[in-house]
Amino acid sequence: WKEFEMEVVRDKNDNCIIVCSIENLDAMGVHTGDSITVAPAQTLTDKEYQLMRNASLAVLREIGVETGGSNVQFGQCPDTGRIVVIEMNPRVSRSSALASKATGFPIAKVAAKLAVGYTLDELANDITGGVTPASFEPAIDYVVTKVPRFAFEKFATADARLTTQMKSVGEVMAIGRTFQESIQKALRGLEVGSAGFEPRFLVTDADSRAELVKQLTHPGAERIWCLADAFRAGLEIEEIYGYSGVDPWFLAQIEDIIRLESTLV
């Protein structure tokens, strides 16, 4: 299943806005703090986005969040399109901080003012320099990618497999005009000696291919590089999707980078 998040802000008059939609590159089963996330969501249709938007607002009203920001997380079945709510955080969270940095909308600042009685239409929108009120939903024409930073080398006995328990020690955020640009900026920013999608797992025989498939199937700290290596090894998008659960759209973007790389080397 694919995982999405909506950052929602509501005031006392029931004015609600979606600050930002966030998509997890990793399928459900990996803690969102350990997953590569992209804002805005890249693979949702407009109908699916509106459905999640309406559901997010309904969740806030049902839970009773009268003012402030909340984070609503959804799971979506890629085969049937079925959408379920998997988590709701009625507070400013890590995702709220990411959404604020990604859009320029100061969620914590606005939430504090809403708590003392202001409404969204009474607050100036910092993104536009106060020309419009904060009740306008942010619209961005760029892609923001967050990549988690792991330090398993410091914890020799730790299980490096990524699960629903968060294991990252930090994260990097990068902005680009496209997903391809922002993901490569983020990988460089990790400061792990990576300049992008350079090879990590060279496939030379059946055993090394089996190890690569294992890395794709069981998420780990280096799986994003394994996706690129899978294309170098000749695997097709459908095969990699079957092993990893990463949406074919993201895989196509990575494949495009590797294809260009092969023409330059």
What is the pLDDT averaged over residues 107-125?
93
The fold for domain 2-143 equals D-amino Acid Aminotransferase; Chain A, domain 1 (3.30.470)
- Mean of the per-residue pLDDT values of the chain: 93
Give pLDDT tens digits for 22-65.
Answer: 999 999 999 999 999 999 999 999 999 999 999 999 999 999 99
**pLDDT at res. 205:** 84
Domain boundaries, the chain: 2-143, 197-265
Whether the per-residue pLDDT at 138 is higher than 80: the answer is: yes
Three-class SS of residue 205? coil
197-265: what CATH class? mainly alpha
For residue 34, give the 3-state DSSP assignment.
coil
Q: Which residue has the higher pLDDT, 182 or 263?
A: 182
What share of the chain has pLDDT > 70, as a percent?
100
**What confidence score (pLDDT) does residue 20 get?**
94
CA angle 28, 95, 42 (to 5 degrees): 60
What distance in Å separates the CA atoms of residue 173 and residue 175, rounded to the nearest whole number? Answer: 7
